[in-house]
A and B are shown apart, each in its own frame.
Chain A
Amino acid sequence: MPIGPAAQRSIPEVGRIRSERGITFVGDDAALVDALRERKPAAVAAFHDRYAQYVLRILVRILGHDVDLKDVHHEAFVRALSSIASLRDPKRLTQWMTSVAVLTAKTCIQRRQRKRWLVFLSPSDLPEAIGAPKESPPEVLEALRATYRILDAMPTEERILFALRYVEGLELTELASVSNTSLATVKRRLSRAEQRFAALARRDPALRDWVERGGRWSAI
């Protein structure tokens, strides 16, 4: 099923879950947040179901691959519940949850980097980039792998901004909001990230065409 840009950036509607059948919460975001603060199971379940797919998507955009993705996904929700008291404006629940997911992904990247000091893996031993359905053309699979190989080599902040901007499609103002930085800082870091990515991508046969000519398979 083709996924268009609009659906790619869909944010969960208030109170409804789009994906697999989930538990809905009857009440507005303020009521949900209050109930979460009291750890009411119904609210916790509905909160999970509302954001599960979205959080998984954000994590995959940033991390690309992780053998512990389920654990990281769970960690994001545990972190959210632990810090729900810090959410002052319930209307910003979705933006806040995005920033929790981003922070969780960042922690995961830092953990991975620490492990790399201990375990020396050749690139061929690294896990396959996930998110590659079997029916995807080989060029697409290779572009996917190459993208995350390059992102793995980039500084964490630039990597996160690049993934959220170009893969998830967030606007600059949204990026500033979820990364808790100013718009000017986001623009500066993103510009550096683009240049770094482009320089590395030009050396990669799987991505050269994309960077220079926009690719050969734009209609998928």
Chain B
Amino acid sequence: MERNLMAMGQLIAGCQDEMVRQRLDLHRGRARLLASVSERRDSARFYRTLAVAALLFSAAVIGFWLRGPSPGSRMGLMASAVKTGEWIAAPTDGAVPIRFTDGTKLELLPNGRARVTEIVQNGATVVVERGELRASVRPHQGNHWRIDVGPFRVTVVGTIFDVSWQPEIERFSLTLRKGAVLVAGPVVGMERAVRAGERLDVWVGQGELKSTRIGAPARSAEVSRGTEAAPPTGPDRSRDSIVSGSENLDEPASVIEPVRPRDFEVAGGRERSSEPASGRGSSRASGKAGPSRSRRAGVPTALKELTSKGSQASGPAPRERRSDARAQASGVIGHAAPEPMERATATGVSAPSSEVDSFRLLARANRYRDSLAEAERVGVAAICAAGNASDVLLLGDVARLAGNEGLAEKAYLALRRRFVGGPATQAAFMLGRLAQDQRAAYAEAAEYFVLYLREAPGGVFAREAASRLIESRMSAGNREGAKAAAAQYVSRYPTGPYADKARELLNEP
């Protein structure tokens, strides 16, 4: 009897082990655990900090009122319990005030996380990892204030504004009430001036940017994204992640046009035409190339209009493209706009939207092999050639999780060729992972991680990309490069999970 039960148990265990291998998500589990540890630690520390901060703030306000600020006085934080470099976490039910001796006031709203990384004579640098920060920066001549919000940089002269970053959905928002700021980052480009009375929203994942007047009448698209009246008070969890292929992302609002980053490098000046037959006139030179508003709304959101010419729909076989990827990865992979509409409407087999929906739904239910089967019914080449960015990314992820690395690579490369930012940036990270973990192509992996970090320095995978960059360079025999990456990691993530290992490497001769 015992032997029979053992044999049965081994059979069952064999099935379960395969499932465990498929379902294990080390990255997410680790991040979740680290977040919960951090919350518990910060919660206990917050109450101590708040009490001390309140006392010191009161004393400093009185002193300030009596003495008044002087331009030459040494800049400092008023609450000494908040140390430079230390993370400040606002609890769920309260904001954390951060005051400076020059009269500048910041307020980190509930659930936000930020830190003051540097204080100089006429300003400071504050990093907002997530959530919203209200800022009232005292104008002085020679002010040097900088707020790093996710992958964005806001350079401040003397302003009152609210800024927020939601890393889960890669959304940046800035509402400027007074003064002027310069914003740099993905989609926006190197510098964009934002004026008083303007609100700037950027959805990095979609490569979309929206600029509106505060108090302007809401248009239909804006209503779907929330009201103009109140700035967001916390992460917007109603908007699903790009990775899961939310339906919301299939229908870009008609008032939003994709904006090409003006100053990003393009390998050899290579760009793919995004101009539709409508001849709208937006030129690439102005950096505003993109399909027209009406065309954008007409982009096949389901894969109804996709074509398939059997397995040869578009693009060479993965093996041929791999050499392209290597050539591209040695420089910067060119930013490609979506395929011209003509190709997407060529004759061929259409995919019923129910199959597309099945593909997405099965992926969300973690049934990757079933989802892949649905994608194959639709035509994976068709998805790569003409699907929207979130579907192509989803295809890559599903293929990867179902163990079909070749197809995953093909999908990610298609994403890089056709799109800019967001999913295409994420694809760079995934290609790096595949190169490193599956093919042991360490030098190539390192190049992809560099690309990702350049395109999304504050992206959701930035920290992991930074640690993988160190490892891939080490594995490729590039010790000096690995050390340089280790130094950057330690500087940016001093308490990160890889920090100890990075420091060890730096200490080695």
Contact = CB atoms under 8 A, between A and B. Distances in A.
B6 A26 contact: no
B133 to A, nearest CB: 23
A42 B500 contact: yes
B294 interface: no
A44 B16 contact: no
Contacts of A144: 12, 15-16
Nearest to B370: A134
Interface string B220-259: 0000000000000000000000000000000000000000
A53 B7 contact: no
A13 interface: no
B19 interface: yes
Contacts of B24: 19-20, 52-53, 56
Of listed A41, A81, A220, residue having the most chain B CB within 10 A: A41
B37 to A, nearest CB: 5
A197 B13 CA distance: 17
Contacts of B21: 19, 53
Interface stretch (B25-33, B91-99, B103-111, B321-329): B25-33
A167 B15 CA distance: 11
Given A53-B24, A57-B17, A220-B14, A39 B41 contact: yes
Contact of A60 (B10, B19, B29, B33): B19
Contact of B10 (A5, A23, A213): A5
Contact of A56 (B8, B23, B34, B37): B23
A130 B20 CA distance: 9
A20 B26 contact: yes
A94 B1 CA distance: 30
A111 B345 CA distance: 54
Of listed B5, B36, B467, residue having the most chain A CB within 10 A: B5
Contacts of B41: 39
Interface in A194-215: 194, 197-198, 207, 210-215
21 contacts: A3-B13, A17-B26, A39-B41, A41-B38, A42-B495, A48-B26, A48-B34, A60-B19, A60-B20, A70-B29, A131-B15, A132-B15, A141-B15, A143-B12, A144-B12, A166-B6, A166-B8, A169-B9, A194-B1, A211-B1, A213-B4
B interface, size bucket: 35 or more
Interface in A154-184: 165-169
Contacts of B19: 60, 130-133
A202 to B, nearest CB: 11
Given A131-B16, A210-B4, A211-B1, A41 B11 contact: no
A78 B3 CA distance: 37
B1 A8 contact: no
Given A42-B501, A143-B8, 16 more contacts: A3-B18, A44-B37, A48-B33, A53-B20, A56-B23, A57-B17, A57-B20, A74-B33, A78-B33, A81-B33, A130-B19, A131-B12, A166-B5, A168-B9, A194-B1, A215-B4
A116 B11 CA distance: 29
B424 to A, nearest CB: 23
Contacts of B12: 131, 140, 143-144, 147, 167
Interface of B: 1-24, 26, 29-30, 32-34, 36-38, 41, 369-370, 436-437, 467, 495-501, 504
B6 A3 contact: no
B5 A56 contact: no
A170 to B, nearest CB: 11
B13 A210 contact: no
Contact of A44 (B13, B14, B34, B467): B34
Interface in A44-59: 44-46, 48-49, 52-53, 56-57
Contacts of A132: 15, 19
A209 to B, nearest CB: 9
Nearest to A217: B11
A100 to B, nearest CB: 13
Nearest to B403: A1
A133 B18 contact: yes
